[in-house]
A = this chain, B = another copy of it.
Amino acid sequence: MKLYGYFHSSAAYRVRIALNLKALTYEQVPVNLLKGEERNPIFRQLNPQSLVPVLITADGQVLTQSLAICEYLEEVYPLPPLLPAEASGRARVRALAQLVACEIHPLNNLRVLKYLKRVLGVEEEAKWSWYRHWIAEGFSALESLLTDSPDTGRFCHGDAPTLADVCLLPQVFNAERFQCDLSRYPTIRRIADACAELPAFAKAHPAGQPDAA
């Protein structure tokens, strides 16, 4: 398999973790988002969304959108599972994953920060307040959901990592990278630490990728 990504992309980071958890081997093709390589015509032909990640599967299919890619991996390579067996647990894990992937990350990714600055002329300080606002909104909710549920274990759902953790750790990495205060989220902190200890998560860390500066 071949993964088009970028070391700092949170969405690509998720897919690296999922691939590693399932012990799948993959070649990485860097797409430098800071240089705007996602707008390159060759890449756009692969993915008209101009977004990473893109996964080329073992049989040559082109897959986009990190959560859709993770669900594909779960269906084709079911072990170890990233989702619980029963429907209600699966719904909980997917909701926690989507809280990150639909409510926090889309508001804070590079193309949005660029628009705020270049088009709306938002000052640096206000831009980072925006960033921290959406982290705080999302993490406050996530912290409540994790703290209040008996389903939370060593990880977001039970004692093995799931799709929720696959989304959580990259978001915590981003939050720390931009100096967000995480002291109010002890459960998120504890789970992120538990994730970071696992080789599948550690190997996916941005700093260890071939395109890391």
Contacts and interface: CB of A to CB of B under 8 A. Distances in A.
A102 to B, nearest CB: 5
Given A65-B95, A72-B87, A120-B120, 5 more contacts: A48-B141, A49-B103, A107-B107, A115-B130, A115-B133
Contacts of A88: 57, 61, 72
A149 to B, nearest CB: 10
Interface in A113-160: 115-116, 119-120, 122, 126, 129-130, 133, 140-141, 144-145, 148
Nearest to A122: B120
A189 interface: no
Interface residues of A, number: 47
A94 B67 contact: yes
Contacts of A63: 91, 95
A141 B50 contact: yes
Contacts of A67: 94, 98, 102
30 contacts: A48-B140, A48-B148, A49-B99, A49-B103, A49-B141, A49-B145, A50-B141, A61-B88, A63-B91, A64-B99, A65-B95, A67-B94, A67-B98, A67-B102, A68-B91, A68-B94, A68-B95, A68-B98, A72-B87, A72-B88, A72-B90, A72-B94, A76-B87, A102-B102, A107-B107, A115-B130, A115-B133, A119-B129, A119-B133, A120-B122
